[in-house]
Amino acid sequence: MGSRGPLKKTKLTVVKGAPDKRARDAFHPECPPAYRPQEPDWHRILGPQSKRLVADAHAEWELTVTELERRGMIARTDASTVVDYCLCHARVLQCERRLSREGFVIAGDRGPVKNPVAQLLGQWRSSLQKHRDSLGLSPLAMRRLDREEEAPPDDESDLDEAPEV
């Protein structure tokens, strides 16, 4: 079962940071080296007969990798997630095209039945959304990654009047 309630905000922190609070304003974090994963051979993954799927996966790869690269949010560990995301995107489009051709109701052995492609489409869409969230590509995920939680002010005034120990 999925998680419930609002998504938790992610607090982004710099691993190599300033030694103390006073030096944070002058601190400039090191930019990670640019990384662009190599596009997989879609023909080998999807099969040589699926030219339309290959084109869909390739187009989504270019769009996604370019956007993640522009934001500086892609690392070597994200490559397989981007591949899975592009495959899910291509499969969603394939299911949509098939549903448009065949319709939501098809002839079954005992009369009209719901097209099983509709169920597959729901599963692919669910996977696509999970990958989109994990890569920070959905609007909600982008908002969650951009905001840092505000820390309460450090008020030590209550310690001024404390008796010495």
Which pLDDT belongs to residue 149?
46
Instruction: Quickly count helices (H) and strands (E) in the chain.
Output: 6, 2
Q: What does the alpha-carbon distance between residue 37 and residue 59 come to, in Å, rounded to a whole number? A: 15
Instruction: Provide the mean pLDDT of the chain.
Output: 81
CA atoms within 13 Å, Cβ hemisphere of 117 = 17
| Backbone Cα Rg of the chain | 24
Instruction: Give the pLDDT of residue 160.
Output: 59
What pLDDT is recorded for position 148?
Answer: 46
- Using one digit for the tens of pLDDT, what is the confidence trace for 38-90? 999 999 999 988 899 999 999 999 999 999 988 888 888 889 999 999 999 99
pLDDT for the residue 136: 87
Nearest CA to 99 out of 127, 128, 120, 124 is that of 120
The pLDDT tens digits of the residues spanning 135-156 come to: 988 888 777 766 544 455 555 6
